[in-house]
């Protein structure tokens, strides 16, 4: 009996313990606990970005734990060390690697309460925010941190130091963009990058394709009706042919002239070189007139001239010119012969060679020129001819110019001229020695303002002393000008002036000085419509007498281009000569209409 009592006590104790364990288990089951799926947010798909973020968070916690373990004392480490899992019943073995202080993870199992009979329950773990929400909070935190840092730096700046607000804002914005880009890179799913997503990325601006040539705007031509020209070797040749009819009240512009209808043909051309350094220009024209009805007129005139510019070393430039001209003597000339069927043909061969040198702001130029005039015979109405060989002469001149460049647009200058006129016949048919010596001096101004205003003008004195003492010298003021002014695009105004000595073989006469001036204007009304005007003034002063001639002229015309190669042209002209000498006055009015073609 005594031995049975202890066994009975032990049996009752085991039953009590078993009942207690069953009661505790029932209470633990009845305790409210959150669903594991809700706690770990496994209701949806787990992305690799979330896995990567979780692994990075664990790595940061382990690094922080390791640094704390190194800095804390040994005793503190033991006090704060996490306790291992204690089994609820003797003999239970804890799971491998399972610790109470393990970091939370979305893959960790929920831990059971240590004391199932405790009245208080473990607090529910807070829900971890989603990945997108976490990135937004991180970006907001980084922005606030950058703002605070910028404010601190701004407060530490010295007084008086300038702050570039634009640069600061740009730097902060760039930092925010860089942080956001880094956050996106950390949380992005690398496996989600496909070939299609790469194709959708923006290209480098420097590698973008440009538009096709066909789609680009073509720059309009400055003059769409200008002659295109013909390429001949290294020259660009531009010819123009004009054919029309003129109705005039005075066919030969003389005091005895009569009305007539004339057929006029004019050929003009220019040839310009396209050389790299030097340049050449060739110009020419020819005009032919024939009577359709009225006074008989049959004449021709023309000129061809070439110019060559060569740049030499040491700021030295050479300019060479050569020309030939043929034209009948004008019926209004002082040397015109009365009672002839046609005036004698005057031919001129001229040439010049000039050297220009620049030394600092000084400009020097030396030019030598030669001009030879020879005349044909005059045909009288009775069929006989009159020789004009006593009028043949050659003029040699040399001109030295020195100028100072006040500015690139203004260069005042002075020049002197010396020359000699030599007649082929030392003594003419009347016994006079016509050869003479020429001297002149001028002062002027060169203008170079580009297309706005360019050219030069000068004034001075010119004198030719004839070898024969019975004849007075031809002398007088000298006025020369060659200016072009463009007040606006499409409008050009020109002014030319020239002073020349006209010799004569009339008995007892020395000759005269002729002053010629022209004011011209050209206006491009439309791209295919051009208007032009001209005003002329000539004054002839006879030497040895009070005789003089005044010639006034005016002209206006229009050219309407049908296309680039053909156009219609018309002009009206009036000219009047008034003289105090008998038998020289005349008036001539004319109207012209023609067709112009160019290439």
Euclidean distance between the first and the last CA atom of the chain, given in angstroms as a whole number: 149
Three-state SS for 532?
strand
Three-state SS for 249?
coil
Average of pLDDT values for 507-514?
92
User: Which among 272, 273, 305, 260 is positioned nearest to 286, based on CA atoms?
Assistant: 305
Give the span between the Cα atoms of 331 and 335, in whole angstroms.
9
Three-state SS for 525?
strand
**Per-residue pLDDT reduced to its tens digit, 173-189:** 444 544 444 444 444 44
Q: What are phi and psi of 479, to 5 degrees?
A: -130, 125
**Per-residue pLDDT reduced to its tens digit, 486-505:** 999 889 999 999 999 999 98
pLDDT at 99: 42
**Per-residue pLDDT reduced to its tens digit, 276-296:** 889 999 999 999 999 999 999
Give the span between the Cα atoms of 589 and 572, in whole angstroms.
8
| Banded model confidence at residue 477, pLDDT cuts 50, 70, 90 | very high
How many degrees, rounded to 5, is the angle at CA 457 between CA 525 and CA 465? 135
Mean pLDDT of the chain: 78
DSSP string, 152-181: HHHHTSPTT----HHHHHHHHHHHHHHHHH
Three-state SS for 7?
helix
Whose tokens are 């002009």? That residue is 571
How many degrees, rounded to 5, is the angle at CA 240 between CA 239 and CA 244? 155
| Banded model confidence at residue 337, pLDDT cuts 50, 70, 90 | confident
Tell me the percentage of the chain whose pLDDT exceeds 70. 66
Contacts of 147 (CB under 8 A, 6+ apart): 172
Give the span between the Cα atoms of 390 and 429, in whole angstroms.
7
| Domains (range + CATH), the chain | 235-598 (2.40.160)
């Amino acid at each position: 009996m005594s031995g049975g009592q202890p066994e009975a006590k032990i049996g009752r104790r085991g039953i009590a313990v078993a009942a207690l364990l069953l009661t505790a288990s029932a209470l633990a089951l009845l305790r409210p606990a959150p669903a594991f799926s809700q706690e770990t947010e496994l209701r949806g798909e787990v992305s690799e970005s979330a896995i990567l973020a979780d692994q990075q968070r664990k790595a940061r916690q382990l690094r922080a734990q390791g640094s704390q373990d190194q800095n804390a004392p040994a005793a503190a480490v033991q006090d704060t060390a996490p306790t291992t899992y204690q089994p609820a019943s003797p003999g239970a073995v804890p799971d491998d690697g399972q610790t109470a202080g393990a970091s939370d993870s979305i893959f960790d199992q929920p831990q059971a309460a240590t004391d199932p009979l405790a009245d208080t329950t473990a607090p529910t773990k807070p829900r971890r925010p989603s990945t997108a929400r976490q990135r937004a909070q991180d970006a907001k935190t980084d922005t606030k941190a950058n703002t605070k840092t910028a404010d601190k730096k701004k407060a530490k700046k010295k007084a008086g130091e300038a702050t570039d607000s634009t640069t600061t804002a740009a730097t902060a914005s760039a930092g925010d963009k860089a942080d956001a880009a880094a956050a996106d890179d950390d949380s992005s799913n690398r496996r989600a990058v496909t070939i299609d997503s790469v194709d959708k990325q923006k290209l480098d601006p420097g590698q973008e394709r440009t538009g096709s040539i066909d789609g680009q705007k073509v720059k309009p031509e400055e003059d769409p009706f200008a002659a295109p020209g013909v390429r001949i070797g290294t020259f660009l040749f531009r010819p123009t042919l004009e054919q029309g009819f003129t109705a005039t009240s005075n066919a030969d512009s003389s005091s005895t002239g009569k009305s007539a209808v004339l057929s006029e043909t004019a050929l003009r051309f220019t040839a310009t070189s396209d050389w790299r350094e030097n340049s050449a220009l060739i110009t020419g024209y020819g005009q032919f007139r024939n009577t359709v009805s009225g006074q008989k007129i049959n004449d021709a005139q023309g000129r061809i001239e070439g110019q060559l510019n060569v740049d030499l070393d040491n700021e030295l430039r050479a300019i060479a010119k050569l020309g030939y001209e043929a034209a009948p003597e004008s019926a209004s000339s002082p040397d015109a012969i009365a009672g002839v069927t046609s005036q004698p043909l005057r031919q001129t061969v001229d040439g010049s060679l000039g050297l220009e040198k620049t030394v600092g702001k000084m400009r020097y130029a030396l030019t030598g020129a030669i001009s030879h005039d020879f005349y044909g015979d005059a045909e009288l109405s009775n069929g006989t001819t009159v020789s004009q060989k006593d009028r043949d002469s050659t003029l040699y001149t040399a001109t030295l110019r020195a100028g100072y460049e006040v500015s690139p647009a203004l260069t005042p200058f002075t020049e002197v001229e010396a020359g000699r006129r030599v007649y082929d016949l030392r003594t003419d048919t009347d016994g006079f020695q016509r050869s003479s010596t020429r001297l002149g001096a001028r002062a002027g101004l060169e203008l170079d303002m580009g297309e706005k205003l360019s050219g030069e003008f000068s004034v001075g004195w010119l004198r030719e002393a004839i070898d024969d003492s019975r004849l007075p010298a031809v002398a007088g003021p000298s006025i020369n000008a060659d200016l072009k002014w463009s007040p606006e695009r499409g409008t050009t105004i020109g002014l030319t002036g020239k002073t020349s000595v006209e010799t004569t073989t009339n008995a007892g006469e020395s000759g005269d000085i002729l002053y010629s001036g022209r004011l011209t204007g050209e206006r491009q009304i439309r791209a295919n419509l051009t208007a032009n005007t001209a005003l002329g003034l000539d004054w002839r002063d006879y030497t040895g007498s009070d005789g003089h001639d005044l010639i006034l002229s005016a002209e206006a015309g229009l050219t309407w281009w049908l296309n680039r190669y053909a156009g219609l042209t018309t002009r009206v002209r009036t000219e009047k000569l008034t003289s105090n000498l008998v038998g020289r006055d005349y008036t001539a009015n004319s109207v012209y209409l023609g067709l112009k073609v160019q290439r």
